[in-house]
Chains A and B, each alone.
Chain A
Amino acid sequence: MNRNHISEQEVSMLLNDVLERYGYDFTEYAHASINRRVNHLFQLDRFPSFAEFRYRIIADAGYALRFVEEITVNVTEMFRDPQFYYMLRQQVLPVLATYPLIRIWHAGCSTGEEVYSFAILLKEANLLHKSVIYATDINTSVLEKGRTGIFPLSQMQQYSRNYMEAGGLHDFSSYYTANYEYAKFRQDLGEKIIFSPHNLVTDGSFNEFQLIICRNVLIYFNKTLQDKVLRLFGDSLEPLGFLALGSKESLNFTSVSGQFRQVDSKEKIWRKHHL
């Protein structure tokens, strides 16, 4: 009955293989979640033994890519935590509005639902035309989905509720056209979004931003990697730029906490000090 067929040591071996052969570094991810996902994949793909699983990953680059894509979490939704989006609307957008060009980095964007959510906020604040959103993820196939702007229609009822709770100004359905079981989001929303691969573990900064959004990504990293990525974010923000995290993520007790001040006591939005 125990579903952990692959031990933590064996998982470490696989992560080392993937690092050495393919350059993807998961060795500083928190173990519990990775272990669970590796075991899940092992059973899903019905490998008879650990040795065969390992051999396939080493020998078959295509399968190694599947491994990378399956052990990273790609669950997301539009306007997740509506209060967070409400706070972005109230506290952050008025500041962004003062810039002639707004540069935003959405790191770990997965299939892009939250990126489109933020594009809608910008649209409603009449700021989207002067914004660029860089939406990045380690996983290239989720980025491909994000680029299409097509999401399952079955989710729209929930997303519409979230949108209303986030202070949405219009009829949510005006942002997409329904086609069979899919909702395709309006082209003008996607025009300012650049989907591009970026690996937070190995890649550096590529611009300076006024807002970095990275939600439910840091929870998968160990403390060392969290600190490293937060330093990357700190270095990639303009003075007085904003950093927005997931609802259970925090800058408290991290190496960068001294550089930031939390904007609101509840929502996880910080602002970089002027230095």
Chain B
Amino acid sequence: MAMDTASRVVLIGGSAGGLQAILTLLPGLSPRLNAAVIIVLHRQSSADSVLAELLAVKTSLPVREAEEKEALLPGAIYIAPGDYHLLVETDHTLSLDYSEKVNFSRPSIDVTFSSAVGVFGAKTMAVLLSGANGDGVEGLGDVHEAGGITIVQDPDTAVVDFMPRHAIQAVPVDHVLVAADMASFINNFAGLMVG
């Protein structure tokens, strides 16, 4: 790869109540996180550049809405833009796709999880948070199959527990965590950038 793109990826997916969990976990991420972070959050499609600003306050890592053809860099956080699916190319760049909704969702968590793990394989960690629908569960299964690490928010602490409960039933989950404990797992998985 021309630039040093990320060799590991952390995928975070959430729906209703997911934003709260993300705001809780972000401050704990290491400023030298040696992985790219991709966040897929269901929301109303309009006025969503606000989301990047909202999250940026909670971390020293750069947060941006994903652009097509953008390279995934370690230590950066990419947000799936509203009303587009976010895909990962084999050269570790991002693609956007305005195709049919999946699980009534665009961006769909399943689409991004499956696409990213197809590229990063076992070097993938996927975190599924609070939500009211089943989007993300299949993708989480793909991550497990590829040998990646699967994390689900503790349903008892999720604002809406359907999504995490469904995931725990359907997929072998490595860790069930409260949001506040997730950052240290992510830091350990990613490792630290040297220098």
- B interface SS class: mixed
In the complex, whether B186 has a CB less than 8 A from a CB of chain A is no
* Chain B residues, Cβ within 8 Å of A248: 67-68, 81, 84, 96
Whether the pair B68, A33 counts as a contact (CB closer than 8 A) is no
- The proximity string for A residues 209-223 relative to B, scoring 1 for CB distances below 8 Å and 0 otherwise, is 000000010011001
- From B7-15, B36-44, B137-145, the one touching the partner chain is B137-145
- In the complex, what distance in Å separates the CA atom of A1 from the CA atom of B148? 14
- The proximity string for B residues 22-35 relative to A, scoring 1 for CB distances below 8 Å and 0 otherwise, is 00000000000000
- In the complex, what distance in Å separates the CA atom of A31 from the CA atom of B90? 8
Whether the pair A219, B98 counts as a contact (CB closer than 8 A) is yes
- In the complex, what distance in Å separates the CA atom of A27 from the CA atom of B46? 33
Whether the pair A73, B67 counts as a contact (CB closer than 8 A) is no
Whether the pair A219, B118 counts as a contact (CB closer than 8 A) is no
Number of A-B contacts (CB under 8 A): 57
Interface size of A by CB at 8 A reads 21
Whether the pair B142, A2 counts as a contact (CB closer than 8 A) is yes
* Chain B residues, Cβ within 8 Å of A73: 97-99
In the complex, whether B154 has a CB less than 8 A from a CB of chain A is no
Name, among B88, B115, B118, B146, the residue most crowded by chain A CB atoms within 10 Å (CB to CB): B118
Q: Which of B90, B111, B114 contacts A4 (CB 8 A)?
A: B114
In the complex, whether A274 has a CB less than 8 A from a CB of chain B is no
* Chain A residues, Cβ within 8 Å of B96: 219, 248
Name, among B97, B114, B138, the residue most crowded by chain A CB atoms within 10 Å (CB to CB): B97
- In the complex, what distance in Å separates the CA atom of A37 from the CA atom of B146? 21
- In the complex, what distance in Å separates the CA atom of A216 from the CA atom of B95? 12
In the complex, whether A8 has a CB less than 8 A from a CB of chain B is yes
Contact status of A223 and B67, CB under 8 A, knowing A1-B145, A36-B111, A248-B84: no
* Chain A residues, Cβ within 8 Å of B118: 4
Whether the pair B84, A32 counts as a contact (CB closer than 8 A) is no
Contact status of A75 and B99, CB under 8 A, knowing A32-B89, A248-B81, A248-B84: yes
Q: Which of A1, A36, A216 contacts B141 (CB 8 A)?
A: A1
In the complex, whether A46 has a CB less than 8 A from a CB of chain B is no
In the complex, whether A194 has a CB less than 8 A from a CB of chain B is no
For residue B146, which residue of chain A has the nearest CB?
A: A2
Q: Which of B87, B114, B142, B145 contacts A33 (CB 8 A)?
A: B87
In the complex, whether A229 has a CB less than 8 A from a CB of chain B is no
- The proximity string for A residues 29-46 relative to B, scoring 1 for CB distances below 8 Å and 0 otherwise, is 011110011000000000
Task: Give chain B nearest CB distance to A217 CB in angstroms.
Answer: 10
- In the complex, what distance in Å separates the CA atom of A219 from the CA atom of B87? 11
In the complex, whether A246 has a CB less than 8 A from a CB of chain B is yes
* Chain A residues, Cβ within 8 Å of B68: 219, 248-249
In the complex, whether A170 has a CB less than 8 A from a CB of chain B is no
- In the complex, what distance in Å separates the CA atom of A253 from the CA atom of B79? 21
- The proximity string for B residues 132-165 relative to A, scoring 1 for CB distances below 8 Å and 0 otherwise, is 0000001001100110000000000000000000
* Chain B residues, Cβ within 8 Å of A219: 68, 84, 95-98
- In the complex, what distance in Å separates the CA atom of A194 from the CA atom of B118? 42
- In the complex, what distance in Å separates the CA atom of A249 from the CA atom of B97? 11
Q: Which of A32, A223, A250 contacts B87 (CB 8 A)?
A: A32
Interface residues of A in 212-262 (CB under 8 A from B): 216, 219-220, 223, 246, 248-250
Contact status of A1 and B115, CB under 8 A, knowing A31-B89, A33-B87, A219-B97: no
Whether the pair B98, A75 counts as a contact (CB closer than 8 A) is yes
Whether the pair B87, A3 counts as a contact (CB closer than 8 A) is no
* Chain B residues, Cβ within 8 Å of A31: 89-90
* Chain A residues, Cβ within 8 Å of B181: none
Whether the pair A75, B87 counts as a contact (CB closer than 8 A) is no
Question: Ordered nearest first, which 7 A-B pairs have the shortest CB separation?
Answer: A32-B87, A1-B141, A73-B99, A33-B97, A216-B98, A32-B95, A219-B96
Given contacts A32-B88, A75-B99, 6 further A-B contacts (CB under 8 A): A2-B114, A2-B142, A8-B90, A75-B98, A219-B68, A249-B68
Q: Which residues of B contact A (CB under 8 A)?
A: 67-69, 81, 84, 87-90, 95-100, 111, 114-115, 118, 138, 141-142, 145-146
